[in-house]
Amino acid sequence: MARKAGSVGEETAERVRLAALKLFAGKGYAAVSMREIAAGVGLQAGALYNHFPTKQAILADLMVAHMEALIAAWEVESRKFATPVAALEGFVRFHIRYHLSRGDEVFISYMELRNLEPENFVRIEGLRKYYEGFLRKILQAGAASGSFSIADVPVAAMALIAMLTGLNTWFRAGGRLSVDEVEEIYVKMALGSVMPGGIMQGSSDGAARGLTAAGS
């Protein structure tokens, strides 16, 4: 936030962000000192204050940037999908890929909320709610059209988001399964959890299948 494009100091500020991101994600915000961050950039601690007024401002900057980028990315991606079913599948795939590729940002955005002053906390929480609203709208549309069988849209949205984001806590690249494989599994589980027709075997071939409602 508030970056002066083209200025020399902005390059240093960006390196500060990167070093702080790694350290916060690895040890936790409270356990990281300004001296450590400075060392990661090759500076003395005092020099950090030319770029950020406080330690918490660095954290808030990282979180806001992450949430805004996430929202912007989905706003582009979401244009591809015409039906609620396609949109849900697209959301699952997008959320998984985006979050797995930004592990550090996701980690601090979910773990360090309580280290924010109220003003920053409210702002980040608002952005998060806004992002969750995308999924709620998809589920609402599908429930209205009969594609989904959902007892409570806000609850279903939170359940799905938690399931998807949970991937970040255990998935490691180079393990038994690839991202693509895990993504397919999650798509099936997510769709199965809200669709009256249940799990569709071999449903991973495209995003634009039309599904008519099938009551219980």
Partner DNA sequence: GTCTATACTCGGATAGAC
Partner DNA sequence: GTCTATCCGAGTATAGAC
- Contact residues toward DNA (CB under 7 A) are 7-9, 12, 32-36, 38, 42-47, 49-51, 53-56
43/194 with CB nearer a copy of itself: 194
Tell me how far apart the alpha carbons of residues 79 and 90 are, in angstroms, rounded to a whole number.
Answer: 10
12/131 with CB nearer a copy of itself: 131
The total of other beta-carbon atoms located within 10 Å of residue 216's CB is 4
3/80 with CB nearer DNA: 3
The distance of closest approach from Cβ of residue 176 to a copy of itself in the complex, given in angstroms and rounded to an integer, is 8
126/198 with CB nearer a copy of itself: 198
The distance of closest approach from Cβ of residue 161 to DNA in the complex, given in angstroms and rounded to an integer, is 31
42/166 with CB nearer a copy of itself: 166
SS (H, E, C) 35-67: HHHHHHHCCCHHHHCCCCCCHHHHHHHHHHHHH
Task: Decide which of DNA, a copy of itself, none touches 115; Cβ closer than 5 to 8 Å per partner kind.
Answer: a copy of itself
The distance of closest approach from Cβ of residue 162 to a copy of itself in the complex, given in angstroms and rounded to an integer, is 2
Tokens of 59: 């954290």
The distance of closest approach from Cβ of residue 8 to a copy of itself in the complex, given in angstroms and rounded to an integer, is 35
Tell me how far apart the alpha carbons of residues 125 and 128 are, in angstroms, rounded to a whole number.
Answer: 5
Binding stretches for a copy of itself (CB under 8 A): 26-28, 30-31, 111, 114-115, 149, 151-152, 155-156, 158-163, 165-167, 169-170, 177, 181-182, 184-186, 188-190, 192-202, 215-216
Tell me how far apart the alpha carbons of residues 44 and 202 are, in angstroms, rounded to a whole number.
Answer: 57
Name 40's Cβ contacts closer than 8 Å, sequence gap at least 6. 19, 20, 22, 23
Contact 148, 194 (CB under 8 A): yes
- Phi/psi for 33 (5° steps) reads -100, 155
Task: Decide which of DNA, a copy of itself, none touches 47; Cβ closer than 5 to 8 Å per partner kind.
Answer: DNA
Task: Decide which of a copy of itself, DNA, none touches 39; Cβ closer than 5 to 8 Å per partner kind.
Answer: none
Tell me how far apart the alpha carbons of residues 201 and 210 are, in angstroms, rounded to a whole number.
Answer: 15
